[in-house]
Structure 1
Amino acid sequence: MRLTVSHTTTYQFSPPKRGVVQSHRLTPARTAGQAARSWSVSVPGATQGAAFRDGAGDWIDTVSLAGPVSELSVEVTGVVETSDTSGVLRDHRETVPPMAYLRETRATHVDHDLAVLSRDAVAELPEDDALGRAHALSEAVAARIAYRSGSTLWGTSAAEALAQGEGVCQDQAHALIAVAIAAGLPARYVAGYLYSANGDLAADEATHAWAEIWIDRLGWVGFDPANGCCPDDRYIRLGSGHDAVGAAPIRSVSEGAGDEHLDVSVSILPDTAQSQSQQ
């Protein structure tokens, strides 16, 4: 599948900031399941800083804007060709060892209830069936945390979402990471995009999140509790981290106090130009 992406994030500051520095994890990962055919990330008026590939294999760009900054827009456009690899992350070069992803964060801290959920989900599965255990953990999270848009906040933890019984894809991904770690399986958070053929996804759903769990002899395998599946050709993978903070597509540091307003617009559509050329 070839997908076109248009993603604009606009920040408005009142009063204006004295300066803003951002790091962007907004370039599609290089994997066997996807390849960017064209891609552009621009911030009008910004100065380009360092650009590098980090240990997790993600491409990082940095930009800065000198003040006064009353408005800032990050504009992403491009075309990505995707294929279904049954959730298995292939041909992705990285240097961070999988065991590094057994570390909890505040968002993925394993409390008593998460530990019980993890234990019960895999109780009848042998320890050497890591893939079966991972599927069972994802199903358990989906059953215990119902997807409901707007039901949680950015800083909600996996434990809080489980206690509440509902959340968004970020919460479900955090909870899956937590129960996987409790079961001794390295797991990490993935940020990206999701295409819906129905065209019914809001901006906060088209920018999507899921988890990857390390399976010996297979490598990293993606699981999306929000949709009850492993990522397929509808998904575009941007980057990963221990949690949503570490994997955030945009991270900002600004100078100056005041109010900040954020507006996000995302469109994920089939590449009509490619379709017309094949007719």
Structure 2
Amino acid sequence: MRFSIAHTTRFQFDQPSGHSIHDVRLTPKPAAGQRVVSWRIDGPGKRSEWVDGHGNQVTTFSAAYRHDSVEITVHGIYEYSGADQWLRYVETPTLPAPFWLRNTGLARHDASFDQVIEGLAERAADAAQRVAVLHEVMERIGKRIAYKTGVSTVDTTAAEALARGAGVAQDQAHAFIACCRRLEVPARYVSGYLRNDDPALHVGRTSHSWAEAWVPGLEWVGFDPANNISPHGDSLRVAVGLDYHDAAPVSGRRVGFGGAKMSVDASVRVVD
């Protein structure tokens, strides 16, 4: 299958800025069986490329002139052929698995998650049972946090989403990660793309998010709580982190006053 991506992120400033910097984590990390046919990231000002501490490719745009808006676009095509049940990667891990147990950020866990993981600790410690246990965790998250737009923000924590009982893919991924780490299973946040031309899938008009958990012998295995699946060939990973902030598709800072509004529109669809 072949997929086409058109993704635009726009910042509109209340007052002009003399300098803004935007970090873009939208360069694909293909899995086995995936191939990037073409990929282009465009933005304003000076461009630089670097790799962050989590191993993500970052493109930075620095606009050092007077401007009141910034537009960053991605156009790409990727394809998948294969029959794997989950995405498999041949990359060498940038960080050791225990690093991803850190209890921090938007995926921070506390005693409120004990109700979700009740009865699973012993099985989660058994490598042979871990995948089955994590699928059960994913199902429990889906029952406790309904997929609903407009009830959370990019700063909503896993605990807040669990207490509210509703959220989007980002919130469900954070809650899944929190449960994993409370079970002593390394887990991390993933940002990427999933087709949004299929009404059966919970995917917004933005990039998508899911989680990966460490399974001995299999290494990183993906879990998409929003859709209760392990991501496969139509899910394209672009960045990983401890939470959303580490793997945000686009983040920025600027010199100036007033507010800023961000709008995002992404189309990910099957093409011939």
Identity of aligned residues (%): 35
Partner residue of 2:68? 70
**TM-score, reference length from structure 2:** 0.92
The offset of 1:232, in angstroms, is 1.6
Counterparts in 2 of 1:202 and 1:229: CA distance versus 1, 3 Å: closer
Partner residue of 1:146? 146
What's the secondary structure of 1:118's corresponding residue?
coil
* Superposed counterparts of 1:128-277, under 5 Å: 128=126, 129-198=129-198, 204-271=204-271, 275=272
What amino acid is aligned across from residue 90 of structure 2 in structure 1? D
Aligned residues: 269
What's the secondary structure of 1:179's corresponding residue?
helix
The offset of 1:203, in angstroms, is 7.8
Deviates more, 1:171-180 or 1:250-259: 250-259
**Counterparts of 2:24 and 2:42, CA distance in 1:** 10
Instruction: Please give the root-mean-square deviation of Cα atoms over the aligned residues, in Å.
Output: 2.0
What's the secondary structure of 1:104's corresponding residue?
coil
The offset of 1:195, in angstroms, is 0.6
1:56 aligns with 2:54: yes
Unaligned 5+ segments in structure 2 are none
4+ residue runs over 4 A deviation: 199-203
**Counterparts of 1:255 and 1:204, CA distance in 2:** 31
What amino acid is aligned across from residue 144 of structure 2 in structure 1? R
The offset of 1:237, in angstroms, is 1.1
The offset of 1:55, in angstroms, is 4.7
Partner residue of 1:81? 79
What's the secondary structure of 1:110's corresponding residue?
coil
| Contact 1:57–1:93 (8 Å) recurs in 2 | no
Partner residue of 2:116? 117
What's the secondary structure of 2:246's corresponding residue?
coil
Unaligned 5+ segments in structure 1 are none
| Contact 1:7–1:267 (8 Å) recurs in 2 | yes
Counterparts in 2 of 1:92 and 1:30: CA distance versus 1, 3 Å: farther
| Contact 2:2–2:80 (8 Å) recurs in 1 | yes
| Contact 1:30–1:92 (8 Å) recurs in 2 | no
What amino acid is aligned across from residue 141 of structure 1 in structure 2? I
What amino acid is aligned across from residue 210 of structure 1 in structure 2? W
